[in-house]
Chain A
Amino acid sequence: NAGVTQTPKFRVLKTGQSMTLLCAQDMNHEYMYWYRQDPGMGLRLIHYSVGEGTTAKGEVPDGYNVSRLKKQNFLLGLESAAPSQTSVYFCASTPRGQSVPEAFFGQGTRLTVV
C-alpha cells in the first residue's frame, strides 16, 4: 500500500530554472495539499485541491502553480526558481466524509535552489 508518493525526493536547481514536483496517492482521496516546511515555521499551505480539475491558493502561493488533471495526482510547479524557495515540500491527501479528517503525508521533497 503506497499511500502518498512524492517524486523526486531530492533536487538542486539553479536560480531561474523550472521544475515540477509530482504527488501521487492511491487512496482515492478527494482533497490534496502542498505544504512547504521551513525551520521554525512549521508547515505552511501553498495550494490545495478539493477535487479533480480544481485548485485553490493557500497561505504562501506566490511563485508556485499547481494542477490536478487526475484525481490521484497533484503537481506543484516552480516556473522560475528562487533561493527563497529552498525548502522541504510535502504533499498530503485527505478523504472526504471522514468523521475526523486525517491528512496522510508523503515522504517529502528536499529542494535546494542555488
Chain B
Amino acid sequence: AQSVTQPDIHITVSEGASLELRCNYSYGATPYLFWYVQSPGQGLQLLLKYFSGDTLVQGIKGFEAEFKRSQSSFNLRKPSVHWSDAAEYFCASSSRGSGTYKYIFGTGTRLKVLA
C-alpha cells in the first residue's frame, strides 16, 4: 500500500539557518510527489512537485526538494530560513487508480523559526 512518512513532528531552526525536512514514501513504482505548506488557519499551498526528470526540483519561496529513488526519499530543503516560513509542511504522494488520482499525505512537520 502507498504510504508517506514524515519522521519529524516538530523542527525548530534559527532564522537564516538551513532547513531540511524529511519525507519517505512507499510505493511500487515512482509516484507523483509533492510538498505542501499550510500557514495557520489557511489551506494547503503547493511548494513543488515531482514525477520524473531532474531529481532536484525547484519550488516557490526558495524551496527545493531532491528525489532519491535508492532511499525512497523526497526531502525538502531551504538554504536560509525566514521567519515567515514558520508553518506546517506536508509531503504527499499520488498515484492513479479508480479513475482518479489518490493523494496520500504524511502527518506533517511543524516548523518553528527562532528570531
| A residues neighboring B (CB under 8 Å) | 4, 30-31, 33, 35, 40-45, 48, 50, 56, 90, 92, 94, 99-108
Contacts and interface: CB of A to CB of B under 8 A. Distances in A.
A48 B99 CA distance: 11
Given A42-B105, A43-B105, A56 B42 contact: no
Given A40-B9, A42-B107, A45-B103, A101 B43 contact: no
Interface centre among A43, A56, A92, A104 (most CB of B within 10 A): A43
Interface of A is mostly: strand
Interface centre among B32, B92, B105 (most CB of A within 10 A): B105
A100 B49 contact: yes
Interface of B is mostly: strand
A43 B43 CA distance: 12
B51 A100 contact: yes
A8 B91 CA distance: 27
Nearest to A106: B43
Contacts of A100: 32, 49-51
B114 interface: no
Nearest to A98: B101
Given A100-B51, A101-B32, A42 B43 contact: no
Contacts of A50: 98-100
Contact of B103 (A30, A41, A103): A103
Given A100-B50, A103-B103, A107-B43, A56 B98 contact: yes
11 contacts: A31-B101, A42-B4, A42-B107, A43-B44, A44-B105, A50-B98, A56-B98, A90-B43, A103-B44, A105-B45, A108-B41
Contacts of B92: 103
Given A42-B108, A43-B105, A101-B32, A48 B100 contact: yes
A107 B42 contact: yes
B27 to A, nearest CB: 15
Contact of A40 (B36, B42, B107): B107
